[in-house]
């Protein structure tokens, strides 16, 4: 009996020491928020300026990006905001000015970018209804007299997302076109890039040049180095894994941009931003020494 009590005296504390970590977990470790948009709520009817909150984290986190898919159509994607700090808990991502977009049903898309240009996406349906209270619809009123009906002003036309000209085959830009002098022409005023192969344009597409305060310099230059991937740093930005980069003058380059879809508008820090797939086509087509003509 004495030996049994002795065994119990050390066995119970030992078992408790083993099981305690399993039974009692620190709240911070036990609670892990899933990525996604937490506010506004799914299917919410919104107007005016709306706070968008969400969670964006990953072990290899690089950036989060918020877009609006107008009418749920990826071909009509409008860039909203981007952030370089992970958000492990629900936090304010940005304020969305819904008056910039047409009334109707749309999708908010949160993209969490991580190592290797990989990303996860999270969607939230919303209905934008400006000109009426967010949660009400004006009732129909019967009348004997015709009344003037006012409609909200039309939203500005969406910028096209496909290149105006694209001559390629099996991933080769300019395939089937007689070879000749290769050069690219960039128009700052039109926000376009045209790649020429001899007298034939093989690519004409929208780009993003420098935003106010970050001018893209006009002039004639030549590509002096090509980098499949690089990190770009400057005042107020530090962007990893910038793809298909071709430097043509000091720190100015043509490269792919995975962090926004606002091509056709000047939003860069002076470089010429392309969609990633178009940047790769151009990168493979061009050689070091490629002539780059930038016009106002």
The residue out of 72, 104, 128 marking a domain boundary is 128
| Cα atoms in the 13 Å half-sphere on the side-chain side of 76 | 14
Residue 170 lies in a domain: yes
Q: Give the three-state DSSP class for 184.
A: strand
Q: Which of 235, 229, 184 is nearest to 214 (CA)?
A: 235
**226-244: pLDDT as tens digits:** 999 999 988 878 888 899 9
Query: Is residue 119 domain-shared with residue 206, that is, in the same domain?
Result: no
pLDDT at 132 over 70: no
Structure tokens at 51: 């706070």
Q: Give the three-state DSSP class for 153.
A: coil
Of 35 and 100, the one with more pLDDT: 35
Query: Is residue 180 domain-shared with residue 76, that is, in the same domain?
Result: no
Q: Give the three-state DSSP class for 210.
A: strand
Structure tokens at 242: 């910038």
pLDDT at 84 over 90: no
Of 15 and 170, the one with more pLDDT: 170
Task: Yes or no: say if 251 and 215 are a contact pair by the CB < 8 Å rule.
Answer: no
Of 193 and 260, the one with more pLDDT: 193
Query: Is residue 172 domain-shared with residue 288, that is, in the same domain?
Result: yes
**44-70: pLDDT as tens digits:** 999 989 999 999 999 989 888 888 888
**What are the angstrom distances between the C-alpha of 11 and each of 3, 21, 184?**
12, 17, 79
The residue out of 67, 100, 128 marking a domain boundary is 128
Of 17 and 205, the one with more pLDDT: 205
Query: Is residue 172 domain-shared with residue 260, that is, in the same domain?
Result: yes
Residue 1 lies in a domain: no
Look up the domain containing 182 and give its range.
Answer: 165-295
Task: Yes or no: say if 169 and 281 are a contact pair by the CB < 8 Å rule.
Answer: no
Query: Is residue 188 domain-shared with residue 268, that is, in the same domain?
Result: yes
**125 CA to centre of own chain:** 18
Residue 18 lies in a domain: no
| Chain mean pLDDT for the chain | 81
Residue 22 lies in a domain: no
Average pLDDT over residues 12-25: 49
In this structure, what CATH number is given to the domain that contains residue 78?
2.70.50.50
Q: Which of 201, 217, 214, 215 is nearest to 282 (CA)?
A: 201
Q: How confident is the model at residue 26 (pLDDT cuts 50, 70, 90)?
A: very low
Q: Which helix (H) or strand (E) holds 257?
A: none
Q: Kindly state the percentage of the chain with pLDDT values over 90.
A: 50
* Minimum mean pLDDT range among 121-130, 159-168, 215-224, 235-244: 159-168
**144-174: pLDDT as tens digits:** 443 343 344 444 444 445 678 888 888 899 9
In this structure, what CATH number is given to the domain that contains residue 188?
2.40.440.10
Residue 55 lies in a domain: yes
Query: Is residue 107 domain-shared with residue 210, that is, in the same domain?
Result: no
């Amino acid at each position: 009996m004495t030996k049994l009590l002795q065994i119990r005296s050390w066995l119970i504390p030992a078992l408790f020491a083993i099981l305690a970590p399993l039974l009692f977990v620190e709240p911070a470790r036990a609670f892990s928020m899933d990525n996604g948009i937490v506010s506004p709520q799914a299917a919410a009817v919104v107007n005016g300026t709306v706070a968008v909150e969400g969670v964006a984290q990953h072990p290899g986190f690089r950036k989060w990006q918020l877009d609006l898919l107008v009418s749920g159509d990826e071909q009509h994607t409008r860039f909203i905001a981007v952030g370089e700090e992970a958000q492990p808990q629900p936090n304010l991502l940005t304020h969305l000015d819904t008056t910039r977009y047409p009334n109707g049903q749309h999708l908010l898309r949160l993209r969490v970018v991580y190592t290797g240009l990989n990303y996860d996406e999270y969607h939230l349906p919303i209905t934008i209804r400006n000109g009426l209270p967010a949660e009400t619809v004006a009732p129909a009123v019967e009348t004997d007299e015709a009344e003037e009906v006012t409609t909200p002003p039309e939203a500005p036309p969406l910028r096209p997302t496909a290149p105006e000209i694209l001559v390629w085959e099996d991933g080769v830009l300019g395939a089937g076109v007689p070879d000749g002098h290769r050069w690219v022409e960039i128009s700052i005023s039109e926000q376009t890039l045209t790649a020429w192969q001899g007298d034939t344009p093989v690519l004409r597409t929208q780009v993003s040049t420098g935003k106010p305060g970050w001018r893209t310099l006009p002039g004639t230059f030549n590509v002096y180095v090509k980098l499949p991937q690089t990190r770009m740093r400057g005042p107020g930005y530090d962007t990893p894994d910038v793809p298909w980069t071709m430097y043509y003058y000091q720190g100015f380059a043509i490269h792919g941009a995975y962090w926004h879809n606002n091509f056709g508008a000047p939003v860069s820090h002076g470089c010429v931003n392309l969609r990633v797939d178009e940047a790769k086509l151009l990168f493979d087509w061009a050689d070091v020494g490629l002539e780059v003509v930038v016009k106002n």
